[in-house]
Structure 1
Amino acid sequence: MPTHRETILAALHSRLSALPATALRGEVLPERVPADGLLILRDGEPGEPEVTLSPLAYHYQHRAEIEAVVQGAERDAGFDTLCSSISTSLATDRTLGGLCDWVEAEAPRPVDLPVEGAASLKAAVIPVILHYTTADPLG
């Protein structure tokens, strides 16, 4: 049975998979970026939880990361569209179906990356903070 953390990350990946861009989880950057863009979800760090007693509960602000990559002549517009679609997707249900207390993305810091013999890439890491509570730090 998957842990609460894994269930949340799988739900986030599922949400990203519904977007037009190709969504991967924990993969290396492929040699070719799909025309609609590429999203790679990284599990990130759960950080140090706040702990409450009676009943014992661990309150996390887990920092996952989405690597967003677009390529081509219209990469600025494509990147903006991709970020906008992520924002809209997360805003439709900030609890991922009740799995989290709250999900919020932070602003990306895009960079242009030259590629020898091909169109440049525009990429950024988009931090996503997952607020959730669990009874066991390993669960």
Structure 2
Amino acid sequence: MPTTRETILSALHTRLSALPATALRGDVLPERVQADGLLILRDGEPGEPEMTLSPLRHHYQHRAEIEAVVQGTERDTAFDTLCASIGTALAADRTLGGLCDWAEAEAPRPVDLPVEGAASFKAAVIPVVLHYTTTDPLG
């Protein structure tokens, strides 16, 4: 049975997979990106939980990361559209189907990445804070 953490990350990946961009999880950045863009979900860092006793609960603010990448001549517009679509997908259901308490993206910090022999990438890491509670840090 998957852990709470894995269930939530899988739900986030499923939500991203519904977007026009290709959505991967934990993969390496390819040399070329399709016109709609590429999203790579990284598991990120669960951080140190706050705890409550009786019953014991671990309250996490897990920082997952979405790498958003576009390539081509209209990179700025494509990047803006891709980031807006991530925001819209998260805003549609901040609890990811009731699996977490709240999911909130932070603003991207875009950079241009040169690619030898091809159009450069415009990319950013978009942190997504996932608030959830579990009875066991390993469960």
Q: Summarize the alignment of residues 57-96 of structure 1 with structure 2, pairs less than 5 Å apart.
A: 57-96=57-96
SS at 1:87 equivalent: helix
Counterpart of 2:20?
A: 20
* Structure 2 residue aligned with 1:35: 35
Runs (4+) of structure 1 moved beyond 3 Å? none
Q: CA offset at residue 31 of structure 1? A: 2.0
Question: How far apart, in 2, do the equivalents of 1:7 and 1:34 lie?
Answer: 28
Which moved further from structure 2: 126-135 or 31-40? 31-40
Task: Specify every segment of 5 or more residues in structure 1 that has no aligned partner in the other structure, as ranges.
Answer: none
| Letter of the structure 2 residue corresponding to residue 112 of structure 1 | D
Q: CA RMSD in A?
A: 0.5
Could you tell me the TM-score, scaled by structure 2's length? Answer: 0.99
Aligned identity (percent) is 86
Query: Using the alignment, how far apart are the partners of 1:78 and 1:70 within structure 2?
Result: 7
Aligned residue number for residue 54 of structure 2: 54
Shift, 1:33, TM fit: 0.7
Q: Deviations over 1:58-91 (max 9, x none)?
A: 0000000000000000000000000000000000
Q: Which residue of 1 aligns with 2:11?
A: 11
Question: CA offset at residue 10 of structure 1?
Answer: 0.2
Where does the alignment leave 5 or more consecutive residues of structure 2 unmatched? none
